[in-house]
Amino acid sequence: MEIGAYSFGDTQLNPDGSQRETSEAVRNLFEAIVHADVAGLDYFGIGEHHTTSMPASSPGAIVAAAAAATKQIKLGSAASIISTDDPVRVFQQFATADAISGGGRIEITAGRGSSVETFPLFGYDLGDYDELYAQKLDLLMTINNSAAPEVTWSGSRRPAIADLAVVPRPASGRLPIWLATGGNAGSSARAGQLGLPVSFGIIGGAPHRFAPLAELYRRSAAQAGHAGPEIQVSVAALGLVAPTKQEALERFYPGWRNLNVEMGRLRGWPAPDKRAFLAQADAPGAYYVGDPDEVAERIVHLHGHLGHMRHFLQTDIGGLPHEHLLESITLLAAEVKPRVTRLLSRK
Amino acid sequence: MELGVIGILGAGRVGTAVARQALKAGYRVRIATAKSADEIALLAEIITPGAEAVDAAEAAAADLVVVAVPLHKYRTLRPDLLAGRTVVDAMNYWAQTDGVIADFDDDARGSSEVIQEFLAGARLVKSLNHIGYRELEVDGREAGSADRRALALASDDDDAKAKVAGFIDRLGYDPIDAGPLSAGRLFQPGTAIFNAAHTAEQLRGLLAEANEPALP
Ligand SMILES: NC(=O)c1ccc[n+]([C@@H]2O[C@H](COP(=O)([O-])OP(=O)(O)OC[C@H]3O[C@@H](n4cnc5c(N)ncnc54)[C@H](OP(=O)(O)O)[C@@H]3O)[C@@H](O)[C@H]2O)c1
């Protein structure tokens, strides 16, 4: 089982609660990835996000920079909002990072995104939500699956491409392309039908609720004739590891609260409730907040339901002090991962 | 007593949760999307075991139809199929998550009033919109439980409203009549009712408060 992290960028806060620079958040993110590589983490994902509190708007640029500065860690987007981007450009950026990395550790995860801010930002029509996603994904897969650099594609939501080169080609011919979903059954079935690996974003409720979705994914893949190593499941979830459970709760809660207050203000929700947080922070809740033993056990428990091959955590939200992110990454790599490996080998 | 057939349009998070909860309550359930029945057969088998995957026309012909499609797709619903039917509108307009949709943003009416205008012949009841899809299968309780959660209903058709009230009750919630369809505005996103879970008494209180004429 691979253990990893993901981030949307996390703008730090001043003592008075005001936001610091978004550029600092990007530098922190870069530093965290390099740190994760040294610590021995398996994977780091950068999620496209366009807010001042979460400013990782350009996963391709961060992945390229990190590709040059790291040696072993797999890097990817988590996710790229493919509906409102140009798949040619997304592919080129990640294939470029793949070349810089030495090849074989760069991935793309395509998603719709849970909010719709990229539509006005890039000038797309929300009424086209489904068509854009389907067609852009189709183009991305067409480029990736092409045996030659020259690509031919046509659709109604983007100008056609007639036998034009899309370069560079990835070192190993293709990049892993994952499909991200937040638990919509249709999306899980679609990932299977397309033969793409699926990444479940589980941000609330009991994670093992996703077991039927994983089954739907696998059976949809089998029905469409897709077998083999690409049919696999990963899980993205919220969490933080600290030396003790108490420290983990104390470190994660303020940022969780800040993020929920901000979203509540935007969306007209009431202030978040600490009981709701605590309910999610213990098994079988969605937040992997705890000491290394607990987090490892909960990952292994979920594995019994989903059979996933990668579990990765978003830790830096709501202005989490940077050192807490770094320590959580250290513990994930040095303490959680060996425990997960040991527990799984006993099964 | 033989319970009726529930038709569900939309097999997303809300549609599948309503389907499972209705099956648990003893209803027969038909579920549909804009795709053909065989395209969602496997989905229904695994995600809503016991529900029958059907075409939208067949789901629309059920005794009670729940519409749970993304709001921006409401124009892909078929008014002819829903004419004369008792239809629960579980959809919400929430610009902050769904983006701005002019049909709803430029209109002072509640989203269900706009839907009713489009589904002109349907006997529309707004309900099931102010409970999270994950909560729906967890918060339900036996009738009479002290902590039973309440859900509001708004409709201009009293018979349809009574029918949906019976359905809500069987799903495990106290149905509370909020009044005509326009009263659906009182439990849309952004309102106190939308933002939290309430018992029948609390919900009645909030509705009364919202209905009180503003003091000069
Ligand atoms: N999230 C919540 O907790 C919550 C709670 C209460 C109410 N709501 C509201 O419920 C609605 C649905 O939300 P959701 O999260 O369930 O959406 P979702 O997961 O995106 O699912 C939407 C479903 O509708 C189907 N669909 C689209 N057009 C259709 C048509 N013309 N006829 C039949 N089916 C159609 C889709 O399938 P195809 O595209 O394959 O046809 C899909 O199965 C929204 O308006 C939302 O605001 C949400």
pLDDT at B1: 55
**Superfamily of structural domain B5-211:** NAD(P)-binding Rossmann-like Domain (3.40.50.720)
Summarised one tens digit per residue, pLDDT across range B83-96 is 999 999 999 998 87
* B97:A268 CB<8 A: no
* A186:B190 CB<8 A: no
CA A7 → CA A71, A252, B63, distances in Å? 20, 14, 47
pLDDT at A127: 79
Kindly report the backbone phi and psi dihedral angles of residue A199, in degrees, each rounded to the nearest multiple of 5, phi listed first.
Answer: -115, 115
Q: Are B161 and B181 in contact (CB under 8 A)?
A: no
What are the boundaries of each domain within chain B? 5-211
pLDDT at B95: 83
Spatial distance between the Cα atoms of A24 and A319, rounded to a whole number of angstroms = 12
- Ligand 1 center to residue A82 CA distance, Å? 21
How wide is the angle at C-alpha B75 spanned by C-alphas B69 and B78, nearest 5°?
Answer: 85
Nearest to A184 among B12, B100, B194 (CB): B12
Residue B174 predicted with pLDDT over 90: yes
Residue A172 predicted with pLDDT over 90: yes
Determine the average pLDDT of the residues in B111-129.
98
pLDDT at A8: 97
State whether residue B141 is helix, strand or coil. Answer: coil
B103: nearest CA partner in chain A = A127
Ligand 1, closest atom to CA B10?
24
A121: nearest CA partner in chain B = B99
Task: Spell out which residues of chain B touch residue A184, defining contact as CB-CB under 8 Å.
Answer: 12-13
* A267:B96 CB<8 A: yes
B78 lines ligand 1 (CB under 6 A): no
pLDDT at B216: 53
Token pair, residue A39, equals 């610590």
Residue among B40, B39, B41, B120 nearest B74 (CA): B120
How many CB pairs below 8 A link A and B? 62
Task: Spell out which residues of chain A touch residue B13, defining contact as CB-CB under 8 Å.
Answer: 183-184
B7 lines ligand 1 (CB under 6 A): no
Buried b (16+ CB within 10 A) or exposed e, A96-108: bbbbbbeeebbbb
Determine the average pLDDT of the residues in B166-180.
98
Ligand 1 pocket: which of B8, B31, B33, B97 to mutate (most atoms <8 Å of CB)? B33
Q: Are B8 and B15 in contact (CB under 8 A)?
A: yes
Strand-pairing partners, residue B154, are B126, B179
Ligand 1, closest atom to CA B39?
40
**Which among B96, B137, B138, B194 is the top mutation candidate for probing chain A, defined by the most A β-carbons within 10 Å of its own β-carbon?**
B96
Token pair, residue B7, equals 């038709």
Please say whether the dihedral angle defined by the alpha carbons of residues A320, A324, A325 and A328, taken in this order, is positive or negative.
Answer: negative
- Ligand 1 center to residue B28 CA distance, Å? 20
Q: Are A93 and A106 in contact (CB under 8 A)?
A: no
* A185:B11 CB<8 A: yes
pLDDT at B192: 92
B188 lines ligand 1 (CB under 6 A): no
Summarised one tens digit per residue, pLDDT across range A129-167 is 889 999 999 999 999 999 999 999 999 999 999 999 999
Summarised one tens digit per residue, pLDDT across range A217-250 is 999 999 999 999 999 999 999 999 999 999 999 9
* B101:A126 CB<8 A: yes
User: Does the structural domain A2-345 have CATH classification 3.20.20.30?
Assistant: yes
Nearest CA to ligand 1 atom 18: B12
Q: Are B23 and B29 in contact (CB under 8 A)?
A: yes
pLDDT at A212: 97
Residue B115 buriedness (CB in 10 A; 0-12 / 13-18 / 19+): buried
* B46:A219 CB<8 A: yes
Summarised one tens digit per residue, pLDDT across range B16-55 is 999 999 999 999 999 999 999 999 999 999 999 999 999 9
Spatial distance between the Cα atoms of A26 and A122, rounded to a whole number of angstroms = 21
Please say whether the dihedral angle defined by the alpha carbons of residues B182, B184, B186 and B189, taken in this order, is positive or negative.
Answer: negative
Spatial distance between the Cα atoms of A99 and B82, rounded to a whole number of angstroms = 56
Spatial distance between the Cα atoms of B174 and A192, rounded to a whole number of angstroms = 40
Amino acid at A212: P
Residue B215 predicted with pLDDT over 70: no
pLDDT at A263: 85
CA B61 → CA A301, B23, B170, distances in Å? 43, 18, 21
Left (φ > 0), alpha (ψ -120 to 50) or beta: where does B166 sit? alpha
Token pair, residue B203, equals 């919900």
B73 lines ligand 1 (CB under 6 A): yes
B94: nearest CA partner in chain A = A267
Spatial distance between the Cα atoms of B203 and A190, rounded to a whole number of angstroms = 40
Q: How many H helices and E strands in chain B? A: 11, 8
* A126:B46 CB<8 A: no
Summarised one tens digit per residue, pLDDT across range A17-41 is 999 999 999 999 999 999 999 999 9
Q: pTM (2 decimals)?
A: 0.94
Spatial distance between the Cα atoms of A257 and B75, rounded to a whole number of angstroms = 38
Q: Are A80 and A59 in contact (CB under 8 A)?
A: yes
By the CB < 8 Å criterion, does B41 face chain A? no
Nearest CA to ligand 1 atom 9: B91
By the CB < 8 Å criterion, does B102 face chain A? no
Ligand 1 pocket: which of B31, B69, B115, B195 to mutate (most atoms <8 Å of CB)? B69
* A127:B11 CB<8 A: no
Ligand 1, closest atom to CA B92?
47
What are the boundaries of each domain within chain A? 2-345
pLDDT band at A128 (very low <50, low <70, confident <90, very high): confident
Neighbours of B1 (CB within 10 A): 4
Token pair, residue B18, equals 């309503």
Nearest to B99 among A119, A209, A215 (CB): A119
Mean of pLDDT over chain A: 96
Ligand 1, closest atom to CA B13?
16
- Side-chain-side CA neighbours of B144 within 13 Å: the count stands at 0
